[in-house]
A and B are shown apart, each in its own frame.
Chain A
Amino acid sequence: MKPVVETEHLSKWYGNVLGLSDVSLQIEPGITGILGPNGAGKSTFLKLILGQLKPNIGTCAIKGEMIRNNYALFSNIGFCPEQDAFYDELTGWQFMIGLLKLHHFSSSEIEIRARKALEIVELIEDKDRIIKSYSRGMRQRLKFAQAIAHDPEIIILDEPLNGLDPLGRRKVIRLIKSYKGEGRTILVSSHVLPEIEAMTKRIILIHQGKIFAQGDIHYIRDLIDTHPHIVSIKCSDPRQLASKFIQEDFVLNVNFSSTEGTLLVKTNNRDKFFGILPSLFVKYDIDVEEITSPDDNLQAVFDYLVGK
């Protein structure tokens, strides 16, 4: 398949700070997840692809054409920025109409497209409310709507799930997945692995401005699974639970947290651990208040992989 986005030795510095270093890759149609902890260089990468930033070294092309100041290319590109920024005094409808005007559609087509996009993101009922009064989730969906309204071939979404509640996330994920058909290329950045996992299997891992890994999501999943993992369990009888866990070979150590009734278990096999956990609760009649994974995030995985 012909790549839609191609970069060669793409590098960017902000003064002495490295934003992106020597990134050469090709992105094909379909959904590609750009994954990395905060400050890894995801937004820099997307802004370079969009020509919003100038690379210090290297080149970036979309469908074989250089992007910077090549504004005609934007007829085919939709961008949902990371920042929660709008022309706040406008209504959702005015915002959509105004931005669609910049695509030079006729007035009737602008209205049709604005209506369709707002219907897709389920904001049509609220189209006449000013954006300032929208909830975070609505604003996020409005950003998505302006990115898809002109029916672009390439959609670039920078942290589209940031600040959304679980229901809002599900809605946006469903929207993104619904848009992958018809040969579209969708690039989504996130710092949360399960979010990307819910949308695509194809990922690019960025860490400290470099491409850390690229390929199938199972690869990163495997890395996470072998990564020693801490689970915090707040329950009615942490001592009883600790005595049982200590006998298991997949448990590396057990500690009691400073928070009363909380047990910290370090395991090197998450699947086995979570497989046995419910049966222990039932068998010893333990009431569970909370189970959390304090290091179930990408930063922990990256720190582990780079040997910190």
Chain B
Amino acid sequence: MGQESRGRVSFFLNSLKDVFTFFFSMGKKSKKMKVFFLIGVLPVVVALIIKLNQFFSNRTPIRGIYIFDNMTIAIYLQFLILILALFYGTSVCSEEVEGKTLTYLTTRPVSKSAVIIGKYAAYTSLIIILTSIGVILSFLVLNVNDLLDFSLYKILLRDVAVLSLGLMCYTAFFTFVGTIMKKSILFGLVFSFGWENVIQYFPGSTQRFAIIHYLKSLLPVPQTGRFSFLMFRLEPSSALFSIFMIFLITGVFLGLACLLFSWKEYIFED
């Protein structure tokens, strides 16, 4: 690599770091983060209620890890990470355009790709932290009697990793959506709770057109139980292929978002 290319790469990485720091520190104190933090701890409240109910009822308690597994799929994977990725991903570009603050970023010596990727990385990190806090607390509450069973922590780690991959991938997709269209939230809701929720249950290869297919492929398929229908008809891809696809989708949509953001002109509405 020539010296000039190396200089460019290091300048780009520096820009990325600067944009990341700016939006990470701004994002963690924002009102939006506080609201989503409250939403993020709701599953912990649910876990608490379940645990208290078990404690005070005379029925044979269901194993905490079983409830935790189902909670990961039903609440986090099918709902919460989609909502978080939707609101944070689309806002990477649209909040700058709608808030008319875009010119503060595009009149600085940072490339537009660094703005998009830096802000995406900041927001993705924030929502991964937020989700992980909720998941870990839910795990601790539900498994309060088995905290010394270290094999359970593997499950926790696996679930946190899958949810983080999901957040990474969905946020990249929604970043692209926010860059290309104005009514991105509406489209995002239709995609999240329409497309993703329907396509995954199609038999054969069709389900591979949903991101959630690759995420679910990384989780074990529960054969029985109340939430086993969520894995109904899943014809899982291999773990390696799923991880490859998740990174590929992330890269493609982030790349497209960068290209579009550099090429498109954004005109503020009065």
- Smallest Cβ-Cβ distance to B266: which chain A residue: A52
User: Are B112 and A71 interface neighbours, CB within 8 A?
Assistant: yes
Name the distance in Å between A188's Cβ and chain B's nearest Cβ: 16
Within 8 A of A (CB), among B9-42: 14-15, 18-19, 21-22, 25-26, 29-31
- Smallest Cβ-Cβ distance to A152: which chain B residue: B107
- Which of A73, A77, A98 touches B22 (beta carbons < 8 Å)? A98
C-alpha spacing A222/B99, complex, angstroms: 41
Residue total for B at the interface (Cβ-Cβ under 8 A): 29
Q: A86-B101, A89-B26 are in contact. Are A102 and B262 (CB under 8 A)?
A: no
C-alpha spacing A182/B188, complex, angstroms: 51
User: Are A81 and B103 interface neighbours, CB within 8 A?
Assistant: yes
User: Are B107 and A50 interface neighbours, CB within 8 A?
Assistant: yes
User: Are A102 and B26 interface neighbours, CB within 8 A?
Assistant: no
Within 8 A of B (CB), among A95-127: 98-99, 101-104
User: Are A103 and B29 interface neighbours, CB within 8 A?
Assistant: no
User: Are B100 and A74 interface neighbours, CB within 8 A?
Assistant: no
- Smallest Cβ-Cβ distance to A98: which chain B residue: B22
Q: Which residues of A contact B26 (CB under 8 A)?
A: 87, 89-90, 94, 98
User: Are A75 and B112 interface neighbours, CB within 8 A?
Assistant: no
- Which of B22, B31, B111 touches A71 (beta carbons < 8 Å)? B111
Tally of contacts, chain A with chain B, CB under 8 A? 72
Query: Is A11's CB within 8 Å of the partner chain B?
Result: no
- Smallest Cβ-Cβ distance to A44: which chain B residue: B267
Q: A74-B108, A89-B30, A103-B108 are in contact. Are A83 and B22 (CB under 8 A)?
A: no
Query: Is A53's CB within 8 Å of the partner chain B?
Result: yes
Q: A54-B265, A74-B109, A89-B31 are in contact. Are A102 and B18 (CB under 8 A)?
A: yes
Query: Is B268's CB within 8 Å of the partner chain A?
Result: yes
- Smallest Cβ-Cβ distance to B270: which chain A residue: A83
Q: Which residues of A contact B103 (CB under 8 A)?
A: 50, 52, 79, 81
Query: Is A306's CB within 8 Å of the partner chain B?
Result: no
Query: Is B56's CB within 8 Å of the partner chain A?
Result: no
Q: A83-B268, A104-B14 are in contact. Are A52 and B106 (CB under 8 A)?
A: yes
C-alpha spacing A184/B31, complex, angstroms: 40
Query: Is B105's CB within 8 Å of the partner chain A?
Result: yes
C-alpha spacing A104/B30, complex, angstroms: 24
Q: Which residues of B contact A71 (CB under 8 A)?
A: 108-112
Query: Is A282's CB within 8 Å of the partner chain B?
Result: no
Query: Is B104's CB within 8 Å of the partner chain A?
Result: yes
Within 8 A of B (CB), among A61-75: 69, 71-75
User: Are A87 and B101 interface neighbours, CB within 8 A?
Assistant: yes
Residue total for A at the interface (Cβ-Cβ under 8 A): 28
C-alpha spacing A54/B263, complex, angstroms: 9
- Smallest Cβ-Cβ distance to B118: which chain A residue: A102
User: Are B101 and A53 interface neighbours, CB within 8 A?
Assistant: no
C-alpha spacing A43/B175, complex, angstroms: 28
C-alpha spacing A118/B101, complex, angstroms: 20
User: Are A104 and B109 interface neighbours, CB within 8 A?
Assistant: yes
User: Are B262 and A104 interface neighbours, CB within 8 A?
Assistant: no
Name the distance in Å between B27's Cβ and chain A's nearest Cβ: 10
Query: Is A274's CB within 8 Å of the partner chain B?
Result: no
C-alpha spacing A71/B111, complex, angstroms: 6
C-alpha spacing A89/B32, complex, angstroms: 11
Within 8 A of B (CB), among A143-184: 146
Query: Is A14's CB within 8 Å of the partner chain B?
Result: yes
One digit per residue, 1 when the CB lies within 8 angstroms of any chain A CB and 0 when it does not, for chain B 224-260 equals: 0000000000000000000000000000000000000
User: Are B15 and A69 interface neighbours, CB within 8 A?
Assistant: no
Task: List B residues at the A interface (Cβ < 8 Å).
Answer: 14-15, 18-19, 21-22, 25-26, 29-31, 99-101, 103-112, 262, 265-268
A-B contact pairs, 10 of them (CB 8 A): A50-B107, A52-B106, A71-B108, A74-B107, A77-B107, A87-B26, A87-B101, A99-B108, A102-B15, A146-B104
Contacts A54-B265, A74-B107 aside, 17 further interface pairs with beta carbons under 8 A come to A50-B107, A52-B103, A52-B107, A69-B111, A71-B111, A72-B109, A79-B103, A79-B107, A81-B100, A81-B104, A89-B26, A89-B29, A89-B30, A89-B31, A98-B22, A102-B22, A103-B108
Task: List A residues at the B interface (Cβ < 8 Å).
Answer: 14, 50, 52-54, 69, 71-75, 77, 79, 81, 83, 85-87, 89-90, 94, 98-99, 101-104, 146
Smallest CB-CB A-B distances: 3 pairs: A85-B100, A102-B108, A79-B107
